[in-house]
Amino acid sequence: MDWKTKLLIRRIISLVILSIFGLLAFIPLYWMVITAIKPATLTLQFPPELFPRNPTLQNFKDVFQRPMLFRWTFNSLFVAGAVTTLQLLLCSMAGYSLAKKKFPLGKLLFSIYIASMMIPRQVTLVPLYILVSKFSMIDTYWGLILPGVAAPFGVFLMRQFMVSIPSEIIEASRIDGASEWGTYFRIILPISKPALAVLGIFTFVGEWNNFLWPLIVTNTSKMKTLQAGLALLQEEVPMQHAFLMAGATYAAIPMIIIFFAFSRYFLKGVTVGAIK
């Protein structure tokens, strides 16, 4: 058996294994969708139907009749968009400073950023809630947005990418008379578009799916995000699995669209900043 045949066999085996794992990962999404289009009386039948015989959109109609659904959707879009925009700006600035500027304790500061990534977010919920409460930002957009702006992962990602930018480009821009802000906006940001795209996608998806913090920091229904609002529906209609799965499917649709539209950037996120 020559090396080409061995390589082909390895590729086939790898493809089969990856296909199996991909199918296993797809099963929860498939089950959510088929439960959402089932009549409510058939969601608990045993054995369950893998292919619904009488699909219906009534569950989605019931979800859309909820008066606060579109307010929750707007809140999620606004909060996720604001956090993403601020993170792209602030993390790129911090990453640029740590990558290309020399200042005392710069390496120590970067090490602290890396170390903070290992702290579970649940550990910071109580002190963060106390801080937000002290500034009277409970049940406000500020309380939803500002805690998500500081992102150690975003700073780490941008710094690792910007280290690979040749310093000669920055020096050439200064020789041409560009200011510090001019160099940043006209040179650094355009070059950093791949890293910015990856960070923007990861941030938007993470904030859209954020559940725990919006649930804690909001008191009124009108300030809930979509994920936290769906939890209220679960309290209103317990055991209505088809109805709840319809709401979950509606919340997942934007993420599915983003994934397929920007899948190449998700793949870049694995290697961005790794090659210098």
Rounded Cα distance between 23 and 109, Å, is 43
Rounded to two decimals, the pTM is 0.82
Q: Tell me: the pLDDT tens digits for 214-271?
A: 989 998 888 999 988 888 877 776 667 788 888 888 888 888 888 777 777 666 655 5
- Residue 214: CB atoms within 10 Å: 23
Residue that has been written with the tokens 């499917």 in this structure: 249
Categorize the per-residue pLDDT at 276 as very low, low, confident or very high, splitting at 50, 70 and 90. Answer: very low
Rounded Cα distance between 244 and 37, Å, is 11
- Tell me if 202 sits within 8 A of 218, measured CB to CB: no
- Tell me if 241 sits within 8 A of 44, measured CB to CB: yes
Q: Which pair of tokens denotes residue 201?
A: 């996608």
Look at residue 150 and tell me whether its pLDDT is greater than 60. yes
- Tell me if 110 sits within 8 A of 159, measured CB to CB: yes
Q: Which pair of tokens denotes residue 225?
A: 């995000």
- Tell me if 18 sits within 8 A of 222, measured CB to CB: no
Domain boundaries defined on the chain: 69-241+252-271
Rounded Cα distance between 170 and 180, Å, is 9
Q: Which pair of tokens denotes residue 39?
A: 């009549």
CA angle 8, 10, 13 (to 5 degrees): 110
CATH superfamily, with its number, for domain 69-241+252-271: MetI-like (1.10.3720.10)
Q: What is the pLDDT of residue 238?
A: 67
